[in-house]
Amino acid sequence: MAGKWGYKDVVPITAMLAVECSDVVLSILFKAASLKGMSYFVYIAYCYVLATLVFVPLAFLSNRKKLLLPLEFPLISRICLLGLLGFSGQVCAYKGLELGSPTLASAISNLAPAFTFILAVLF
């Protein structure tokens, strides 16, 4: 039965396509907004607010059967550090997109696994 696709086979491919399409749409929207004078800090803030409005209700509606870790200072500091790294990465990417084109940004984002591999070999 080589031609039959199951639900579990299609979901990862669909999710991957959705992420790539949303990345391209966000790049094009940012380029259009930056040409009209919008700051990339404001654009990133809007993206974070929209993501919060989408994902916080999903977190409350999800059904969890196991207990969560207690919120202690080391865990909160790691979450804040990851948020800061993600924000600084977005600032650098959108500043580069403001100076370049969405095509260049897409090509550079495809090189991220190669850069990760090179850094893993070096360190």
- Give yes or no for residue 15 having a pLDDT over 80: yes
Q: What is d(CA 110, CA 41) in angstroms, rounded to the nearest whole number?
A: 24
Closest by CA position to 100, among listed 40, 50, 45, 17: 40
Assess whether pLDDT exceeds 70 at residue 1. Answer: no
Tokens of 112: 């991220």
pLDDT band at 3 (very low <50, low <70, confident <90, very high): low
Domain ranges of the chain: 8-62+73-122
Which pair of tokens denotes residue 36? 């009209």
pLDDT of residue 77: 94
Whether pTM > 0.75 for this model: the answer is: no
What does the pLDDT look like over 4-14, one tens digit per residue? 777 788 888 89
How confident is the model over 18-75, as pLDDT tens digits? 988 888 888 888 888 888 988 888 988 898 899 889 988 888 787 677 777 788 999 9
The CA distance from 35 to 29, in Å, is 10
Q: Which tokens is 104 given?
A: 């260049």
Q: What is the pLDDT of residue 84?
A: 92
